[in-house]
Each structure stands twice: as C-alpha cells, then as structure tokens.
Amino acid sequence: MTLLDKYELLKKSIPLLPLYNGQNTENCKFTDYTFNSKNCYYCFGGFRLEDSMYSITSMGKNLIDCYYAVGCEVCYECLDSNKCYNSAFLYDSNNCNDCNYCALCISCSDCFGCVGLTHKQYCIFNKQYTKDEYLIKLAELKKGDPEKYLEKMLATKKAVPHPASQQYNNQNCPYGDYVYDSKNSYWCFNCYSVEDCGYGFDSGPSVKKSWDVYWSGDERNTIELSYEMTLSMSTYNCSYLVNCDNCTNCFYSSDLRNCSDCFGCVALTNKKYCILNNQLSKEKYEKAVRIIKKELGWKVE
C-alpha cells in the first residue's frame, strides 16, 4: 500500500464539517466555501463578501442574486461583471456605475439597456441623450415591464460582436476568459489579481507563481509557488492541498490550518513535521519525506 493509499484511508476515517466557511467569516448563515465575509445569507464561494445574499463566487458589498460579480457594490442580478456600482441586470460589464440592463459595457455610467459601449454616459438602448433628457426618459422607463427591457437588451446582445475573451486591466494574459487585474498568466478563467500563473480557475486575489489552482486565493497572504490547490488560502510552496489555510511546505493534505512541513495529513491545526497525522521529529520527518518523494517519482537531490 502506497502513502497515497494510506492518505485516502485516513481521509475517510476522519469526520469533517458539512459546511466550510473560512477564517474571519462572521454571521454568515446557510453559506458554504465563503471566506473573509460578513453578514451573508445563502452565498457560496464568496471572497470579501459583505451584507449580501443569494450570490455565487462573488466579492463585494450589498450584492443580491449576483454571479461572478467581482469588486462590485450595491448590485442586483449582475453576471460576470467587475468593479460595478449601484447597477442591476449587468452582463459582462466592467467599471460601470448606475447602469441597468446593460451588457459588454466598459467604464460607463447612467446607461439603460445598452450593449457594447465604452466610456459613455446618459445612453438608452445605445442612443445618446442629454442629462435632462435621460432623467426624464428613465423615469418613464421605470414604470414599464422589466422583463421586456431585459429581453430587448439580450436580443441586442446577440447581434453585437463579442470580444474573444472578457479581460480587464490585464497584462500578457493569453488564452483565458473573465480575467481581471492580472499579469503574465496563461489559460486562466474567472480569475482576478493573479500573477505568473497557469491553468487557474475561479481563483484570486493574490495568487502568484502557481499552477492548477482552483477556487483558491486570499487577500491577507499570498498563494505562491503552489501547485494543484483546491479551495485553499494562504499557502507557500505547497502541492495537492484541499481546504487548507495558512500552510507552508505541505503536500497531499486536506483541511489543515496553520501547518507547515506536513505530508499526507488530514484535519490538523498548528502542527509541524507530521506524516499521515503522526508527529515526527524534524530529522525523522525530513528523512521519511525524501524516501516518500522518491517512491512517488519526485526528483530529489
């Protein structure tokens, strides 16, 4: 039986919490995989989420029914949007304020039913108005049927050419989609504030020099020099971790908190030099890890 076989048996032998909310999470009811968040209800996969409900994989404040809304505030029914404020029914939009029923808009404000606009203000269904005209027209629109406005905008969206990928404020991030504020990253999707990374999904912020990272990231500390991370925060030089937080030099482990130099461990807190949850001295740990790595095919000097 290999160490990985023993690790799988260890995972099955230890009871784990049915829901997981990360450290620094306060008053979050019916939430799961929510980190550094406060006063949330029925939210899942949230980072730095406050006073929000019914939102998934979002970051911001006062969000309702949002999905992949990053850095947004006071928003309702916003999808795949970034740094938007006081807006509703936004799709694939970035840095927009006071916009409603809009899609593919960048740096716009006070727009209604618009698609594919950049640096525009006081527009309704892509038609330019003066401020006074816009306010009068908007008051009339608020009395109408919201479903019809949404249908009209979505029909226009289908007719407007879309960019090859949704990116905003990035540098050298090819072959990815929905990537924001990132640099030198390859094949990343739904990521923000990642740097020198590859094959990242649903991750950020502050992920650096890491590959194959899924749903991980932490603003407090950096995920760095890590590989195959899932649902983890604040790691350095780690590989094959699941649900781990604030760990260094840990491998093939899950549900660790504030640990370092652990191999094949499950549900430990404030531990060091452990293999399969067994405490070792530093010398015995280092000797055993060298043997294990060779058995797993790792290159050991």
Q: Which two tokens stand for residue 127?
A: 């038609």
Question: Rounded CA gap, 137 and 124, in Å?
Answer: 8
Cβ-defined contacts of 284-293 (< 8 Å, 24+): 285/261, 288/263, 289/263, 292/3, 292/263, 292/264
* The pLDDT value given to residue 24: 77
* The pLDDT value given to residue 17: 79
Question: Rounded CA gap, 10 and 172, in Å?
Answer: 42
DSSP per-residue string spanning 38-49: EEEES-BS-BSE
Cβ-contact 95, 168 below 8 angstroms: yes
Question: Rounded CA gap, 56 and 45, in Å?
Answer: 6
Question: Rounded CA gap, 204 and 215, in Å?
Answer: 8
Question: Which pTM value belongs to this model?
Answer: 0.88
Mean pLDDT by 10 residues, the chain (301 residues): 92 87 84 90 91 95 96 96 97 97 97 97 97 96 93 92 89 93 95 95 92 85 92 93 94 96 97 98 96 90 73
Q: What is the enclosing helix (H) or strand (E) of 146?
A: helix 146-159
* The pLDDT value given to residue 23: 67
Cβ of 194: how many Cβ atoms within 10 Å? 30
Q: Which residue has the tokens 């949704």?
A: 166
* DSSP symbol at 23: T
* The pLDDT value given to residue 164: 87
Question: Rounded CA gap, 184 and 291, in Å?
Answer: 35
* DSSP symbol at 186: B
Q: Which two tokens stand for residue 124?
A: 């309704």
